[in-house]
Amino acid sequence: MPNQPERFRDTSLPIIERVKDLLSRLTIEEKIHLLSTHQLPVERLGIGEWYVGQEVARGYVSREKTEPSTVFPQPIGLASTFDPNLMEQLGEIAGEEARYYHRKDPKGHLMLWGPTVDPERDPRWGRTEEGYGEDPFLIGEMTTAYTQGMAGDHPTYRRVIPTLKHFCANNNEKERINCSSNVTPRTLREYYYRAFEASIVRGGTGSMMTAYNELNGVPACMNPDLKTLVKKQWGLEFIVTDGADFSQNVLAHHSHATHAEALAACLKNGNDVMTDEADMVAAAARDALDRGLLTEADIDRAVGNSLSGRFRLGEFDGDSCPYNTKPAETDTLLHRAVNRCAAMEQMCLLHNRGILPLQLQPDARVAVIGPLGNENYRDWYTGVSSYAVPILEGLRQQLGAENVLFDDGYSVVALQSVETGKYCTVSADGTLRAAAEQIGERETFLLHDWDFGSMNLRACCNGKYVTENGTYQAVSDTPYEWFIREWLKPEPYGDAMRFGSWHDRPMDIALQPDGTLRAVSHGKPTPDRLFRLVPVEDGVTRAAALAKQADVVILCLGNHPMQVARECYDRPDLELPAHQKNLLRAVQAANPNTVLTVVSSYPYALGEAMELLPAILYTTHAGPELGNAVADTLLGKNNPAARCPITWYRSAQDLPDIMEYDIISAERTYLYDTVEPLFPFGHGLSYSSFVYRDFTAEEKPEGMLFRLTVENTSQRDGDEVVQLYYRALHPRVKRPLRQLCGFQRVPVPANTAVPVTIFVPWYALEYYDVTQEKMLVEQGEYRFSAGASSADIRQELECTVSGEVIPPRNLSHSICIKNYDSKHGIEITLRFSYRKNDWYGCTNDWGGGFTFADADFAGYTKAELWAAAPCSQAGVAIYAGEQQLGSVEILPSRSMDDFQLYTIPLKPYTGQADLRLEITGMASVYRIQLG
């Protein structure tokens, strides 16, 4: 073989042939070292070291200050632009900058991790800022464009390979490593899976990362749908990677006893690359091969998918790949201009009683107040920008520094030891020591309290944050690491408090004999562990006094994206931090001309602010152009047109438990929720006013074509986001109350009417029919609505849509219990059987039942039921509607999925009715068939 030509380097051959040739040249040991994200070199074949994975949520992410990139607004903000054309431009920038850094270090940088497309059915999720909202159609359209821009349009080569995250039903951080998201096949296919499908089938996505969680009991990294659906039906071309969950199958999920067994399950179900340490993955692969759990063909399939991606990226092809030679730059003036456009387009005007845009006299004084006024924070999945403009700077650049006042609203405190009575002072090297008898500048700190145990102290003497660095020191520029060492977790104790450290395990901050502070193991609240926060100056009072001096106040509130809610931490509530709510009330009382600017990674419950304030402008942490975009919007240079891609609720009380993933039965998201929100999905105001008319529909072979006219009736040019929703009026099953199926961001000049055409492809109207186990368009009457939001409908029409007539369920075919139409009982769930590599239904001790609607009973005389009773005897009764046809006792079994076949005599019944299985006791049911 070594003497044969290296066909894998022949660019005239199809890539599939080149991959086969390279696989034939690799030893099994070399192959197993290509199963991890750190792929070792094969020097004898001239194959270099390779790394899979580089974050790209907000553009190319490097956290090195020497590697600047264009930092986009947070994805939840990009989603609010409703502008796929912009998304494609941003994708091109991200891809080009990845190529730029790849040339500096050609070991990777091209298999990018992002975008995150998990549908956000709960705004308390800690990673809300990473996603694109709650609607799968919007997510799909926006990320399809983004991935197309990243990947490029060459027929053979890819600029980069985007990797979707995190498949799937991944919308909570609490216990994410071993929790199970329990959903029905309908919810999976119509909601969670749909968001992933779009950019794989129609965009530039080539790879996918699985989630940490389980899906109805099976770890996501070994979900059989990876192979049968994502690869075989959707056509995912390259790799599936596990998102660091491989080792957790043994350590957290306990799905398998050994890493070898877990690796075999992952690879056989469609996973290809593991993010654990390369040596550990290789050891598991050797063990699996030795034990016969894997074959070399299994290894070849996974490694072949990975190599295919490397070929498409031009790794082996030199100048034959145009992306290897095309100029690539980073942080260019063009990139900055597009990014400023993105920051402006994601400005969302939530509320306005006419105060915006600001009409200021030449000598007007503006006060910027609040903790977000002079900050431009980064979140974890953020690159390093070469510049960053906070809101204060943006306004001062346009209005003059002398006309823009500022106060952050933070209170000033001193930290006093209960044991000694002395105050903590900041030494020359930043070390804190409880050594001062009096309070001076070195004994004062700005108190940053974000609630929920996230508190920071920032030394007034040097502007540095107090951080744990062996001892506690005021030496940190900003809280920004995977572990936030600046966290002080307060716990009240009488008139004092003790502080936990940044560790997510019991730790206390304790006074040492030399006066320094250290983190120690959690213990009794002895005096050395107790401190007092002594008030020095009240920030709310100070800010209110400043507000009185201004003609208008820009109140900047929101979140710190590295604290409270982020990866690993969900948000307990939707409320603003208590300090910020107090600031809002005081500033408004001092100056009613207060505009609230919310800078946040997620929605808040702002009902009180709506009542008190004349305007609310929302922006995400929008990157370096944040301050410029806010200033342009407040002053009317930018006419806002963004729309909420996620519902803003009035209260967390309007939400079910964060672990409730079945949006249909729980009536979650704007699709099913009947509770009136604060700001509905699609909401967003403009400085212009628009009228809709002449709404028509026409059926085409590929979908529905809608036309309407939108008129700008104001004196100001503006963009209008026309949104198209539909509802099936007489569906077979429960369908959404309204569902987005098309949208278009349309520039409309002042006093001008423009025609708008929106094409709705058939896939946008599909739902998952459990009787046939496929997505389809149901024939029938539909209502289509055009509007400015899901609740602001301007035009409607009803028409008959061609599609499939859903036949009665055929009971002579074997029916998997997971495909039920409805269920009843307490804790009725789907679980996964590794024996069957499939899901089954189960009840607990209280029993319950499953219903299969519209079944065709053809005088059947028996039923064959696969069932198990893992605790003790259970019973199953079979009904046609309300008529019982037969029953059986399920004998105790060895396990939940030790299914036995039970043949049940039935009373003949002819006609159409619901098939009901009524279960008493704890039982597992897998399949049923009548005959």
Which residues have C-beta within 8 Å of that of residue 327, sequence separation ≥ 6?
Answer: none
Which residues have C-beta within 8 Å of that of residue 776, sequence separation ≥ 6?
Answer: 766, 767, 769, 803, 804
- Structure tokens belonging to residue 849: 């039942």
Taking the CA atoms of the chain, what radius of gyration do you get in angstroms? 30
Cis-peptide into 109, omega within 30 deg: no
Looking at the DSSP assignment, which residues form a beta bridge with residue 928?
815, 865
Place of tokens 């990226």: 313
Report the alpha-carbon angle 34-36-42, nearest 5.
30
Query: If 0-12 CB within 10 Å is exposed, 13-18 middle and 19+ buried, where does residue 651 land?
Result: middle
Query: If 0-12 CB within 10 Å is exposed, 13-18 middle and 19+ buried, where does residue 496 land?
Result: middle
DSSP 15: H
Tell me, which fold does domain 7-322 have in CATH? TIM Barrel (3.20.20)
Separation of alpha carbons 268 and 79, rounded Å: 35
Give the CATH number of domain 419-529.
Answer: 2.80.10.50
Which residues have C-beta within 8 Å of that of residue 874, sequence separation ≥ 6?
Answer: 843, 847, 867, 889, 890, 919, 920, 921, 922, 923
Contact 707, 756 (CB under 8 A): yes
- What is the location of CATH 2.60.40.10 in the chain? 688-801
Largest separation between any pair of C-alpha atoms in the chain: 93
Helix (H) or strand (E) holding 699: strand 690-700
Contact 909, 883 (CB under 8 A): yes
Separation of alpha carbons 409 and 71, rounded Å: 28
Looking at the DSSP assignment, which residues form a beta bridge with residue 925?
841, 867
Which residues have C-beta within 8 Å of that of residue 528, sequence separation ≥ 6?
Answer: 417, 419, 510, 511
Buried b (16+ CB within 10 A) or exposed e, 96-133: bbbbbbbeeeeebbbbbbbbbbbbbbbbbbbbbbbbbb
Nearest to 36 by CA among 143, 108, 86: 108
For the chain (931 residues), the mean pLDDT of every run of 10, in chain order, is 78 97 98 97 96 96 93 99 99 98 93 98 98 99 99 97 97 93 96 98 97 95 96 94 82 92 96 94 97 98 98 97 94 98 99 98 97 97 96 99 98 98 97 97 98 95 95 96 91 92 81 95 93 98 99 99 95 98 99 99 98 99 99 99 99 97 97 98 99 98 98 99 99 97 99 99 98 97 99 98 96 97 90 94 91 96 96 93 97 94 97 97 96 95
Separation of alpha carbons 489 and 364, rounded Å: 42
Contact 838, 773 (CB under 8 A): no
Give the CATH number of domain 688-801.
Answer: 2.60.40.10
- Structure tokens belonging to residue 822: 């409805």
Contact 167, 220 (CB under 8 A): yes
- Residue ranges with strand state E in 211-337: 214-215, 218-219, 240-241
Residue 1 confidence (pLDDT): 45
- What is the location of CATH 2.60.120.260 in the chain? 809-930
**β pairing state of 923-930 and 838-843:** antiparallel
Looking at the DSSP assignment, which residues form a beta bridge with residue 615?
352, 595
* CATH superfamily of this structure's domain 809-930: Galactose-binding domain-like (2.60.120.260)
pTM of the complete model beyond 0.85: yes
- Structure tokens belonging to residue 758: 């929106």
Helix (H) or strand (E) holding 271: none
Residue 603 confidence (pLDDT): 99
- What is the location of CATH 2.80.10.50 in the chain? 419-529
Which residues have C-beta within 8 Å of that of residue 365, sequence separation ≥ 6?
Answer: 403, 404, 405, 549, 550, 551
Separation of alpha carbons 604 and 831, rounded Å: 35
Separation of alpha carbons 91 and 144, rounded Å: 10
- Residue ranges with strand state E in 470-561: 471-476, 489-493, 496-500, 507-511, 517-521, 531-537, 552-558
Which residues have C-beta within 8 Å of that of residue 272, sequence separation ≥ 6?
Answer: 35, 239, 240, 241, 301, 302, 303, 305, 306
Nearest to 561 by CA among 409, 377, 410, 383: 377
Separation of alpha carbons 736 and 662, rounded Å: 13
